[in-house]
Amino acid sequence: MMIKKVDHIGIAVRSLDKALPFYIEVLQLEFLGIEEVDSQGVKVAFIKAGETKLELLEPTSEESPIAKFIEKRGEGLHHVALGVDSIQERINQMKEQGIRMLQDEPKIGAGGAQVAFMHPKSTGGILYEFCEKKGLK
CA angle 91, 93, 99 (to 5 degrees): 75
- pLDDT tens for each residue of 78-90: 999 999 999 999 9
14-73: pLDDT as tens digits:
999 999 999 999 999 999 999 999 888 999 999 999 999 999 999 999 999 999 999 999
Indicate the pTM of the whole model: 0.90
